[in-house]
């Protein structure tokens, strides 16, 4: 038996769950050198980390008789960054220690805190929770950690990124010095090393992350589309793959809300997950996916960690991830526990270079493809339909009687055609896509041109990202200095040290005259130099390759370059989807202070 070194109830639980052999991270924590020591473990998402630390803490939880004895205060504490991950950990440890009579208390935001306090008062062997809620119970005296034997920080890097450092430090400072500390993290950046140095003693470093950062069980694909075709691409990808469960990742709550409504309107069984949903709503959405009442989940990155659905075989990045780490954590929702999965990135044409750089940074080989066409989808439908209808089935006598009545009134061919028609009617219709050719892309751009922007000129401002240039104050500045309206300003391109703006050629004379007159103003903001310019270099390259490009202005327009990509840092006290109580980062200071703005 591969788990023969474990207590019998643990080995039986693993066998019943279908574990034939431990995963690499599980095998590593069961080595004799890891027993009883602090552990600093880095392993990929979906590698079996939860069961791994469940097995690692067995020696701390079990008494001399190899069973769990009643405990007045918690023996083990597991801290996770999100509600979903904490509840998933509770379920995993629940079946792993079920035969030992384990008592587990879950303490997460969005749940009734009074019920959690009662569960803690009754005594729990293991407490699982999110940092903010655990800290609340600790400060109210409901959570006593003086008798703790083992503390586990799951996804420690994510908790630090989310601003939970102060919460974690207060929780760990409340524990006894003799407790073991197990840190599990997908990556080991310097802040994790510092945390380990402070709270661990002689920790054993375990790494099961191979040289290839991408998951070997995930096939990555990148689909290039017109910015106006993103939703159509989502529909066609869902129809082409017909995955048992698919997760669609968006960047904002508004995007989730909009795409969820669109998919429901088109006939998909879809649920939504974002920070605006209550814990009850999240639980209902996840249960609908587990019960197969829904097959599509539209989510923000709040679901990138802790969402464990074994049936997920397709992940679609509807909006490009902010960085390589986000890409991998999102994609890690599929290809879990040895199963194969597909991760598809929908790439608007203007963002292809950024995605290529992200994939190189993540050492991921992605196949660049075009979105599935209606013809390809119908071919897939035909093959799936034939396989489904020709599969062996045991028929009831009542079914055969009805079949005889049908054959008496219609031909066999008509009946088969009616059956095929009924099956096809259940499927949402695929969408026509703009062909992925230079000519089609040019025609699409021409179609999406704003009236009056067929012929434009460019101007250069001597401020850029390094001077905290932002469209929110550049746009009013241009309107005041150039005596134009917001609708008369086209694309805004912000680079490191300069900004380029586009206006219709018909307004050039008026704009130049206004700039000359307003430059004499005593307003400090009017000292920003604005002059005629060629198109930005990256625009010129694209124009030479694919013809003239005109895009709408306004925040969120395709291809806008507002700031350097990277994870968003939370200021102290700023909330996110799961409400961390603390955070880092210095207050934002603008080098240029436009009129009416205050820091």
Q: What is the DSSP string of 400-462?
A: HHHHHHHHHHS-HHHHHHHHHHHHHHTSPPP-----SSHHHHHHHHHHTPPTT-SSEEEEEES
Domains of the chain listed by start with CATH number: 8-207 (3.40.50.300), 218-376 (3.40.50.300), 438-546 (3.30.70.330)
d(Cα 461, Cα 500) in Å, to the nearest integer?
6
pTM: 0.59
DSSP single-letter state for residue 18: T
Residue 566's SS3 state is coil
CB–CB of 428/239 below 8 Å?
yes
What is the C-alpha to C-alpha distance for residues 428 and 385, in angstroms, rounded to an integer?
15
> Which residues have C-beta within 8 Å of that of residue 420, sequence separation ≥ 6?
385, 389
pLDDT in tens, the chain (599 residues): 356 678 888 888 888 888 888 888 888 998 889 888 999 998 766 678 889 999 999 888 886 656 787 788 899 999 998 888 898 899 999 999 998 889 999 999 878 899 999 999 998 999 999 999 999 999 999 999 988 999 999 988 878 877 889 999 999 999 988 899 999 887 787 888 889 999 999 899 998 765 444 456 889 999 999 888 899 999 999 999 999 999 999 988 889 999 999 999 889 999 998 878 877 888 888 889 988 899 999 998 876 566 667 788 999 999 999 888 788 888 888 877 667 899 999 999 888 999 999 998 888 999 999 999 999 999 999 998 888 888 888 888 888 899 999 999 999 999 999 988 888 888 888 888 877 777 676 676 666 666 777 788 999 998 888 888 888 888 888 888 888 888 889 888 888 888 999 999 889 999 998 888 887 766 666 678 889 988 876 544 444 333 333 333 333 333 333 333 344 344 333 333 444 433 334 333 444 444 444 33
> Mapping DSSP to helix (H, G, I), strand (E, B) and coil, where does residue 182 land?
strand
């Amino acid at each position: 038996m591969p788990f023969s070194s474990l207590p019998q109830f643990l080995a039986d639980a693993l066998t019943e769950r279908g574990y034939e052999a431990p995963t690499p991270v599980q095998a590593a924590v069961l080595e004799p050198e890891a027993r009883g020591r602090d552990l600093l473990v880095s392993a990929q998402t979906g590698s079996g980390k939860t069961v791994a630390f469940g097995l690692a803490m067995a020696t701390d939880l079990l008494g001399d008789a190899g069973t769990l004895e009643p405990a007045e205060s918690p023996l083990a504490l597991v801290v996770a960054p999100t509600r979903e991950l904490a509840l998933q950990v509770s379920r995993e440890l629940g079946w792993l220690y079920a035969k030992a009579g384990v008592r587990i208390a879950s303490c997460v935001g969005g749940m009734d805190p009074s019920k959690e306090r009662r569960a803690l008062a009754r005594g729990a062997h293991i407490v699982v929770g999110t940092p903010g809620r655990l800290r609340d119970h600790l400060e109210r005296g409901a959570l006593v950690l003086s008798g703790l034997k083992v503390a586990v920080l799951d996804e420690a890097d994510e908790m630090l990124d989310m601003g939970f450092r102060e919460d974690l430090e207060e929780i760990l400072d409340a524990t006894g010095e003799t407790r073991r500390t197990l840190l599990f993290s997908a990556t080991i950046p310097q802040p994790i090393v510092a945390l380990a140095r402070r709270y661990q003693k002689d920790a054993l470093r375990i790494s099961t992350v191979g040289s290839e950062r991408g998951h070997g069980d995930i096939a990555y694909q990148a689909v290039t589309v017109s910015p106006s075709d993103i939703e159509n691409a989502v529909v066609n990808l869902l129809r082409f793959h017909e995955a048992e469960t698919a997760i669609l990742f968006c960047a904002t709550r508004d995007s989730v809300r909009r795409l969820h409504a669109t998919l429901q309107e088109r006939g998909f069984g879809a649920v939504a997950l974002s920070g605006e949903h209550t814990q009850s709503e999240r639980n209902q959405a996840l249960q609908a996916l587990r019960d197969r009442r829904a097959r599509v989940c539209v989510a923000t990155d709040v679901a990138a960690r802790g969402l464990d659905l074994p049936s997920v075989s397709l992940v679609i990045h509807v909006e490009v991830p902010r960085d390589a780490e986000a890409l991998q954590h999102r994609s890690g929702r599929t290809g879990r526990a040895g199963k194969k999965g597909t991760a598809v990135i929908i790439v608007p044409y203007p963002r292809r270079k950024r995605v290529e750089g992200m994939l190189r940074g993540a050492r991921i080989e992605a196949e660049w493809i075009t979105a599935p066409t209606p013809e390809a989808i119908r071919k897939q439908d035909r093959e799936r339909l034939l396989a489904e209808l020709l599969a062996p089935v045991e028929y009831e006598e009542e079914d055969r009687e009805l079949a005889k009545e049908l054959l008496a009134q219609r031909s066999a061919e008509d009946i088969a055609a009616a059956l095929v028609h009924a099956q096809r009617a259940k499927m949402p219709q695929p969408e026509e896509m703009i062909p992925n050719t230079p000519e089609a892309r040019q025609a699409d751009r021409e179609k999406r041109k704003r009236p009056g922007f067929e012929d434009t000129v460019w101007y250069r401002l001597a401020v850029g990202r390094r001077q905290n240039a932002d469209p929110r104050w550049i746009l009013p500045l241009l309107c005041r200095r150039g005596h134009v309206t917001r609708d008369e300003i086209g694309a805004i391109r912000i680079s490191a040290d300069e900004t380029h703006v586009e206006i219709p050629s018909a307004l050039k004379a008026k704009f130049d005259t206004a700039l000359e007159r307003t430059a004499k103003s005593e307003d400090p903001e009017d000292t920003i130099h604005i002059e005629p310019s060629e198109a930005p270099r990256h625009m010129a390259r694209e124009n030479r390759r694919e013809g003239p490009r005109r895009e709408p202005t306004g925040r969120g327009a395709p291809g806008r370059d507002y700031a350097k990509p990277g994870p968003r840092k939370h200021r102290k006290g700023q909330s996110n989807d799961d409400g961390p109580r603390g955070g880092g980062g210095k207050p934002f200071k603008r080098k240029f202070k436009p009129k009416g703005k205050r820091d």
